[in-house]
Amino acid sequence: MEAPPVSVLPITGGTINMMEYLLQGSVLDQALESLLHRLRGLCDNMEPETFADHELVYLLKGQQGNPFLLRARRSLSHPTVPWHLRYLGQPEVGDKSRHALVRNCVDVAASHSLPDFLNEMGFRMDHEFVAKGHIFRRGVLKVVVSKLSRILVPGNTENTEPLSLSYLVELSVLAPAGQDTMSEDMRSFAEQLKPLVHLEKIDPKRHM
């Protein structure tokens, strides 16, 4: 995955509370080309960027019910690039009219000893997958079109099988807490991708 966002505000001890606004959808394999064409037209003019990432999700089971989840991601196409560790909070239950899923997000880079470190800390790897696809940008909006694959033999990222016949499409923005204007921009961008993809706010808890 690309380097974590650079924040221009000075870090004076506290952390900057970044929120991730998210809209998700999917597109069938046969419609992928038309979606990529449309995104190439709608998004900023840059070389089409592909990525291949291996994500491991670590869980720390507490005494209370909810386990603490951390996501560690490394690039398969650039093996020397640092790992990316991310924490995603629970989706904010704000007003229902907000169009995007909002959750707290903390991103840091980490060295290659991250899996060992997390294990020492007490985290256990819950699941892992490989994501390959394309990434587009439009201003602060980020669109990721990725194919998720299941890893058949743990640790072996060569031997994978696709989870489904679709690509996952995610539209996300990272913004400091309190900026609610993002969801409007995201919704108008999502409108432009219809009817190819329906990007919507999907609560992951509903599919538990």
Partner 1 sequence: MQQREEKLLDASVESLISRVAHLKNALHSFIYKLENEYERLTWPSVLDNFALLSGQLNTINKLLRNEKTPSFRQQIIIPLLLSPDRDEELAKLTEQRVPVFSHEIVPDHLRTKPDPEVEEQEKQLSAEAARIGTEVAQKQIQTLNKLCSNLLEKLNNPRDDRDADSAAIRQNKPSFNPADTNALVAAVGFGKGLSKCRPPGPVAPGHTGQGPMMSGGPTLQQVTIGGGSGQQQGMGPGAPQQQGQPGKMPCNIKTNIKAASSMHPYNR
CA 100 – CA 102 distance, rounded (Å): 6
- Give the number of C-alpha atoms closer than 13 A to the C-alpha of residue 131, restricted to the C-beta side: 19
**Least CB distance to partner 1 at residue 70 (A):** 12
Regarding 106 and contact with partner 1 (CB under 8 A), the answer is no
CA 204 – CA 208 distance, rounded (Å): 7
Helices 32-42, 182-193: crossing angle, 10 deg rounding: 130
**Interface with partner 1 in residues 142-161 (CB under 8 A):** 148, 150-155, 161
Q: Which amino acid is at 97?
A: S
- By the 8 A CB rule, do 92 and 164 touch? no
Regarding 96 and contact with partner 1 (CB under 8 A), the answer is no
Per-residue x/- track, 168-197, partner 1 (CB under 8 A)? x--------------------------xxx
**Interface with partner 1 in residues 52-91 (CB under 8 A):** 56-57, 60-63, 69
- Give the footprint of partner 1 on this chain (CB under 8 A): 24-28, 30-31, 34-35, 56-57, 60-63, 69, 115-116, 119-122, 124-129, 148, 150-155, 161, 163-166, 168, 195-198, 202, 204, 207-208
